[in-house]
A = this chain, B = another copy of it.
Amino acid sequence: MAEVVHMIDSEVFLAFSTYATIVVLKMMLMSLMTSYFRLTKQVFSNLEDTSLVKTTEDRKKLVRVDSDVERVRRCHLNDLENIVPFVVIGLLYALTGPDLSTALLHFRVFVGSRFIHTVAYVMALPQPTRGLAFGVGLFTTFSMAYRVLTTALFL
């Protein structure tokens, strides 16, 4: 990591910026998907939110739990648990000056695995589709962390 200043200007860093932005945007879409399901299925967490779809007095019944909404929310939380480590470790990895082709491979495999994970989760595809997508993403991040720790270790 001795020449990190030059690295931040590199194609690897541009590639990281691109893929990190794409996968974070994908994560943000889960918020919109949750809102969409809540409004169309009339399922809310807060009493004050029910006024968005109803004004009569039986609004309390709309504060409930729905399995489809919970599924999207679990998918969103899984994104947070996996995309945040990718962004942090991927940023440090990009600064270690890896080969462009190796870096692109890591970024593309990770982002691809998370798109597959989302489709598999939301559509409830048979396992082990979602499990494999999760595992591939995890392995990609571990691989980048290995390079960061072997290149930049300073305890």
Tell yes or no: A141 within 8 A of B by CB.
Answer: yes
Contact between A124 and B1, CB atoms less than 8 A apart: no
Query: Given that A14-B154, A17-B92, A17-B154 are contacting pairs, would A71 and B46 also be in contact in the complex, using a CB cutoff of 8 Å?
Result: yes
Contact between A88 and B138, CB atoms less than 8 A apart: no
4 A-B pairs with least C-beta separation = A14-B154, A17-B152, A15-B154, A17-B92
Q: How many chain A residues have a CB neighbour from B under 8 Å?
A: 63
- Using Cβ atoms and an 8 Å threshold, which residues of chain B touch A9? 1-5
Tell yes or no: A80 within 8 A of B by CB.
Answer: yes
Tell yes or no: A69 within 8 A of B by CB.
Answer: no
Binding site for B on A (CB under 8 A): 1-5, 8-9, 11, 13-15, 17-18, 20-22, 24-25, 27-28, 30-32, 45-49, 51-52, 71, 74, 76-77, 80-82, 84-85, 87-89, 92, 95, 121, 124-128, 130-131, 134, 138, 141-142, 145, 148-149, 152-155
Contact between A149 and B18, CB atoms less than 8 A apart: yes
Contact between B81 and A21, CB atoms less than 8 A apart: no
Q: Pick the residue among B15, B51, B52, B152 that contacts A14 (CB under 8 A).
A: B152
Contact between A48 and B124, CB atoms less than 8 A apart: yes
Contact between B127 and A88, CB atoms less than 8 A apart: no
A to B CB contacts below 8 Å, 10 in the list: A4-B8, A18-B148, A21-B149, A25-B142, A25-B145, A32-B138, A47-B124, A52-B128, A80-B80, A87-B88
C-alpha spacing A66/B154, complex, angstroms: 40
